[in-house]
Homo-oligomer: A and B are copies of this chain.
Amino acid sequence: MPTKKPRGQYHHGDLRAALLEVAPAVIAERGLHGLSLRECARRLGVSHAAPYRHFADKETLLTALAGEGFRRLVRAGREAMRDLADPRDRLRAYGLAYVRFALEHPEHHRVMFSCEDDGRIAPEDRAAGDEAFELLRETTEEATGLSGGAEMPATLSFWSLAHGLSMLLLDGRIPAEHTATPEAVEALAASVFDRWRG
């Protein structure tokens, strides 16, 4: 039901949004290398050149997808921290949300951190990535009591921890016993974050 397309309609309706929706599905099936604009077009019942009306090229679609991913990550982070008062609990919750996001949206996560930055990222997508970092920085600031730049090493180390764990999980490099069930993963993430001190 993603695309409701009345019989014989020439125009699609919202091809741009449909592309951003179908692309992760293609990536999930065929891998990031296996993604092609033509395949996306095919699945949406649209001609092979139609996507170019909405994205200058394939890379542009990917950066848009990355931007969407960062927006969702920020939303998930805020959601996870919402009812927590203790800044250290909040930071930890963000970390867990980060890892959970990577596992639940592996396609987005991979795209978010694989676009070889040519500097041609749309401002709004650039901003989405910056906001995810800024949210982490503020939370770390509160959790550590550091500020004025002194919080940066703490921020970066916590980010490294969450990011590294996410990547290793996605790459299947974590021994199976720790990834068998969602609870096991959650426990692993918790014990990983326990080894961090602000």
In contact, A116 and B31 (Cβ under 8 angstroms)? yes
Is the CB–CB distance between B116 and A191 below 8 Å? no
Q: Which residues of B contact A173 (CB under 8 A)?
A: 129, 133
Report yes or no: A195 in contact with B192, Cβ–Cβ below 8 A.
no
In the complex, the answer to whether A32 meets B164 with C-beta atoms within 8 Å is: no
**Known contacts A114-B114, A196-B195, A197-B197; is-contact A168 B159 (Cβ 8 Å):** yes
Residues in chain B near residue A129, CB distance under 8 A: 173
Is A172 an interface position by the 8 A CB rule?
A: yes
Query: Which of chain B's residues has its CB closest to A174's CB?
Result: B156
The interface bits of chain A over 187-198 (1 if a CB of B lies within 8 angstroms of the residue's CB, else 0) are 010011101111
Contact residue range for chain A? 35 or more
Give the complex CA separation of A197 and B196 in angstroms: 7
Beta-carbon contacts under 8 Å, A145-198 to B = 152-154, 156-168, 171-175, 178, 188, 191-193, 195-198
Q: Are B133 and A188 touching (Cβ within 8 A)?
A: no
Whole-angstrom distance from the CB of A23 to the nearest CB of chain B? 15
- Cα A178 to Cα B167 in complex, Å, equals 22
- Residues of chain B within 8 A (CB-CB) of A197 are 195, 197
Partner of A153, one of B113, B195, B196: B195
Contacting pair A167 B163 (CB below 8 A): yes
Pair B188/A153 contact, Cβ less than 8 Å: yes
Residues of B with C-beta under 8 A to A33: 116
The 8 closest A-B pairs by CB, nearest first: A164-B164, A160-B164, A163-B164, A157-B192, A153-B191, A160-B165, A157-B195, A31-B116
